[in-house]
Amino acid sequence: MPKVGMEPLRRKALVDAALRVIGDHGSLSVTMSEIARQAGVSPALAHHYFGSKDQLLIETIRFLLRRLRDDTVTALRAADTPRARLSALIRVNFQADQFAPATIAAWLAFYAEAQRSEETRRFLVIYARRLRSNLLADLKPLCPTDAAERIAEGAAAMIDGLYIRQSLRSAPISIEASISLTEDYINSALAALAKGQTP
Amino acid sequence: MPKVGMEPLRRKALVDAALRVIGDHGSLSVTMSEIARQAGVSPALAHHYFGSKDQLLIETIRFLLRRLRDDTVTALRAADTPRARLSALIRVNFQADQFAPATIAAWLAFYAEAQRSEETRRFLVIYARRLRSNLLADLKPLCPTDAAERIAEGAAAMIDGLYIRQSLRSAPISIEASISLTEDYINSALAALAKGQTP
DNA sequence: TTTTATTGATTGATCAGTCAATCAATAATA
DNA sequence: TATTATTGATTGACTGATCAATCAATAAAA
C-alpha cells in the first residue's frame, strides 16, 4: 500500500480548510478548489474523500457543533452549583474560539444554509435545543418550571442575538460585556420572580 | 408592449420578485432568470434596469429596510409615553410581515451576505444602530443613561436572537410570546434597577 | 423620427464532479 | 534478499451545466 492511513488526516485537513475558507470568504459559496488548495491537496482528492461538496460542508458544521458540545461538557464539569453552571454555560458560548470572526461568519453562513438544506437545519436545531435545555436544567432548581422555561428561552435568544450582532462588527461588544449582559438578564429575571412570589 | 413609464413598475415588480424568490429559495444564490420569470419579464430586462445582479440585491435589502423603518415611524407615532413607545418598538419588529418565513429567510441571507459585501454590511449596520438608538431614546427617560445603554443593547440582542431562532422553525415561538419575553426583559431590568437604587 | 421598452440569442467564465492514469508503500513469494 | 503483485493515495485533464452579462434587433409610443 501507499502511505497508508492518510484518510483521517486528509479529512481533518479538509474540514479545517473549509472552515478557514468559509470564514474569511464569509459565505458557503466557496469552491472545492479553494478548500483543497488551502488543505494542500487536489480538488479531486476532496471529492474522493467526501463524495460531494455538500457532504464536506455537512462535516464542517458537525465539527463546529462537536467542538461547542465538547467545550460545554468541559465547562459544566468544572461547575458544581446550578447558578455556577449557568454562568459556565454562558461563558462557553462567548469563548474566544466561538467569537473568532471566522467562526461567527461560518455559523451565520450555516444559518442561512439551513433554509435550504434540511440536514443543515437539523444540526442547527440540535444546537438550539441543546442550549435551551442546558439552560433549563440549571434554571429549574432556581425557580418554578414555567418561569425557568421562559428565562431559558430568553437567555438563549439573547446569546444568539449578541452573537449575530457581533458578526456586523459595528459597535462590537467585548466578550466580557456580552457575558455580563446575559448574566444580568438572568439575575434580574430571577430577582423579579422572587419579589413577585413574596409580595 | 412598450408603454412609456414602465421603469418604476418594473423595478418594483423585480424587487418584489427577488424578495419572493430569495424567500422561498432561502438564499441569495438565486438566478436573475428566476427572478425575472417571477416578475414576468426577460432576464435581459432585469439587467437593463439594475445593471447587475448585485445591484438588484442591494435594492432589495433597501426595500426591506425601508419597510421596517416606515412601520417603525408609524408605530411610534401612535404611542405617547416612553414606555408605550418601547412596547411599540418591540411589537413592530415582530409584526406579521417581518415574521413571515420568506422575510426571515431574506434577512438571514443578507446577514450572511454582509460578510462579503461591504455595502450590504453598511445597510445592516444602519438597521442595528437604528434599533438600538430607538430603544435607547425611550429608555433614557426611565433610568440612568448607562443603564439605558445596557438595556437597549440587551433588548436589541434579544429581539434579533428571537428573530433568528424563529428561522429554524424548531419549537417556533408565537409572535405574542416573543413580544412578552422582550417586554419582561425590559420590565425586570428596570425593576432590578429601581430596587438597587433604593436599598 | 427619435426614444423607450423589450427580447432572443449568444458569450465567456466558473465550477462541481468524473475518470483514467500514476505513484509509492507494503506484503507475499521465490 | 530481490522480485512482484496489490492497492490506497493522488492528480491532471476533461465534461457538462449553469449563469451573469452583453448585444443586436424589433416593436410601440412620442
Cell reading at B34: 428566476
Band of the pLDDT at A170, cuts 50, 70, 90? Answer: confident
Residue B103 CA to residue B82 CA, distance in Å, equals 29
* Mean pLDDT for chain A overall: 91
Judged by CB atoms closer than 8 Å, whether chains meet at B184 and A154 is answered as yes
Query: Domain for residue B48, yes or no?
Result: no
Distance from CA of A2 to the nearest CA of B (A): 41
User: Domain total for chain A?
Assistant: 1
Query: Domain for residue A22, yes or no?
Result: no
The predicted structure's pLDDT at residue A199: 41
The predicted structure's pLDDT at residue A12: 92
Cell reading at A147: 418561569
Query: Domain for residue A124, yes or no?
Result: yes
What is the domain-level CATH number for residue B64?
1.10.357.10
Query: Domain for residue A91, yes or no?
Result: yes
199 residues of chain B, pLDDT tens digit each: 446 677 889 999 999 999 999 988 888 999 999 999 999 998 999 999 999 999 999 999 999 999 999 999 999 999 999 999 999 999 999 998 888 888 888 999 899 889 888 899 999 999 999 999 999 999 999 999 999 999 999 999 999 999 999 989 888 889 999 999 999 999 999 999 887 654 4
Residues of A in contact with B132 (CB under 8 A): 171
Among candidates A163, A183, A177, A91, which has minimal Cα distance to B111?
Answer: A163
Residue A37 CA to residue A21 CA, distance in Å, equals 10
Query: Domain for residue B5, yes or no?
Result: no
Q: What is the mean pLDDT of residues A38-66?
A: 91
CA to C1' distance (Å), from A65 to D9: 29
Judged by CB atoms closer than 8 Å, whether chains meet at B125 and A170 is answered as yes
Distance from CA of B29 to the nearest CA of A (A): 9
Q: What is the mean pLDDT of residues A3-18?
A: 85
A42 nearest nucleotide via C1' and CA = D11
Band of the pLDDT at A197, cuts 50, 70, 90? Answer: low
The predicted structure's pLDDT at residue A198: 45
Query: Domain for residue A105, yes or no?
Result: yes
| Nucleic chain C contacts, protein chain A, residues 42-61, CB cut-off 7 A | 43-44, 47, 51-54
Q: Which nucleotides of C are covered by protein (CB under 7 A)?
A: 4-9, 14-20, 23-26
User: Do residues B61 and B49 touch, judged by C-beta distance below 8 A?
Assistant: no
A30 nearest nucleotide via C1' and CA = C15
Q: Concatenated DSSP letters for A79-117?
A: --SHHHHHHHHHHHHT-HHHHSHHHHHHHHHHHHHTTT-
Query: Domain for residue A138, yes or no?
Result: yes
Q: Concatenated DSSP letters for B118-178?
A: HHHHHHHHHHHHHHHHHHHHHHGGGS-HHHHHHHHHHHHHHHHHHHHHHHHTSSPPPHHHH
Give the model confidence (pLDDT) of A127-145 as tens digits: 999 999 999 999 999 999 9
Residues of A in contact with B122 (CB under 8 A): none
Among candidates A57, A58, A1, A63, which has minimal Cα distance to A31?
Answer: A57
Residue B109's closest chain A neighbor by CA?
A: A112
Cell reading at B149: 445603554
Residues of A in contact with B198 (CB under 8 A): none
* Angle between helical axes of A53-77 and A101-113 (0-180°, round to 10): 120
Torsion of CA B13, B14, B16, B17, to 10 degrees: 110
Task: Select from B109, B163, B181 the Cβ nearest to the Cβ of A150.
Answer: B181
Residues of B in contact with A157 (CB under 8 A): 157-158, 161-162, 165, 181
Distance from CA of A8 to the nearest CA of B (A): 30
Cell reading at B122: 453598511
Domain extent for B182: 60-197
The predicted structure's pLDDT at residue B71: 96
The predicted structure's pLDDT at residue B72: 96
Band of the pLDDT at A102, cuts 50, 70, 90? Answer: confident
Query: Domain for residue B106, yes or no?
Result: yes
